[in-house]
Structure 1
Amino acid sequence: MGVTLPIDALFAGESLRPESQILLNTVVGELQRYPNSAVLVAAHSDAGENAAQARARSFAQAQAIVRSLEATLGDSYHWVAVGYGQTEPIAPNDTAANRQRNRRIEIGIFPASEAYFE
């Protein structure tokens, strides 16, 4: 299970916007239902910059989300941050609206069970 959030609502560059906490609080509420879970935070960009810069920026954004969630929830979760850059678009990068769709954070929750963490 997971959630997709628009990067533009969360970030100004690599820094979290102050109002991003409103969106992240909804994620916190959901994560609290699954203590000790693995949480994958994946950041994606559009094709607006070179590939190496896009990967570096998206990784920094994923790490910022992890730091924010971890500060609220603690370290009882297993956190993974991934920056995909522009490698996994969900739409063609041919219009402003499609590029905006590609700039996203995907947060996946993998509930703890003996099968996952034995």
Structure 2
Amino acid sequence: MRKALALLTLSVFFVSGCATTQEGQTSKTATGAVIGAVVGGALGAATGPKGANKGKRVLIGAAIGALVGGAIGYALEQQAKELGEDLGVEPIDNTNPEVKPKEPPISESKPVAVVKEPEKVRVVLKNSLLFDFNSYELKPSAKETLRRVASTLTAHPDTVIVIAGFTDSTGSFSYNVGLSEKRAEAVKNELVLNGVDPTRILVFGCGPKKPIAPNNTEEGRALNRRVEILVYPKGVTIPHPCE
């Protein structure tokens, strides 16, 4: 058994080592392959008839898990690429958990961002791009933006979509949560109108939680007022977007 575990460790190291980018950041495909190898190896060892070659089952399980995990990672990377093309931006690579982002993904001059993360793709949209002040009615230009996003989401049906609205810290907490939820719901409704299956979509109003910039400046508050569209593969545990 020790030999089998050693071989599994070597196979995981090989997968992760060979799928690392030149900049030293592990790609989303590599991350999925490594996780898949570990899970697949564990399942291979735990299943099968007693007395069978467990070491062989570990290696077979690791190989299958790596293929499945790699396929998930590749699918997410493809969606990030297509969403970036939809929105006219280059996706930001935040797939290396050891490298913390130094600045918010959006800014005054860049109101839209597509962010690749280890387990999901995150689309970040400034509220000023979507809504007028204190409103949850989508601007006509926002509807066109969301139409393009919907085309990519419908092309990849094997995902779960989480839409989370955020505000700055000005005003009452309960009002901000309510407004952010209505804005997230408006984004959901527009995606559904453009063909996205509503059963794939979860909506949350987070209010002033999880700011991405300081709330003590107007510029920072403007960045915190945003809607995020989070795209996850089916079957994964989805954390609460407000926490």
Q: TM-score under structure 2 normalisation?
A: 0.44
Question: Counterpart of 1:52 in structure 2: which amino acid?
Answer: S
5+ long unaligned stretches in structure 1: none
What secondary structure is seen at the aligned counterpart in 2 of 1:85?
coil
5+ long unaligned stretches in structure 2: 1-120, 237-243
In the other structure, the counterpart of 1:41 is 163
1:39–1:83 Cα change, 3 Å: same
In the other structure, the counterpart of 1:7 is 127
Higher helix share: 2
Identity %: 28
- What stretches of structure 1 move > 2 A for 4+ residues in a row? 74-77
> In structure 2, how many angstroms separate the alpha carbons of the residues matched to 1:108 and 1:50?
26
Higher strand share: 1
Which of the residues 65, 68, 71 maps onto 2:190? 68
Q: Structure 1 residue 87 and structure 2 residue 193: aligned?
A: no
Structure with bigger RCO (C-alpha 8 Å, 6+ apart): 1
Structure number, greater radius of gyration: 2
Is the CA contact 1:38–1:111 (under 8 Å) kept in the aligned structure 2? yes
> In structure 2, how many angstroms separate the alpha carbons of the residues matched to 1:49 and 1:27?
31
User: Deviation at 1:9?
Assistant: 0.9
Q: TM-score under structure 1 normalisation?
A: 0.87
Is the CA contact 1:35–1:76 (under 8 Å) kept in the aligned structure 2? no
Aligned pair count? 114
What secondary structure is seen at the aligned counterpart in 2 of 1:41?
strand
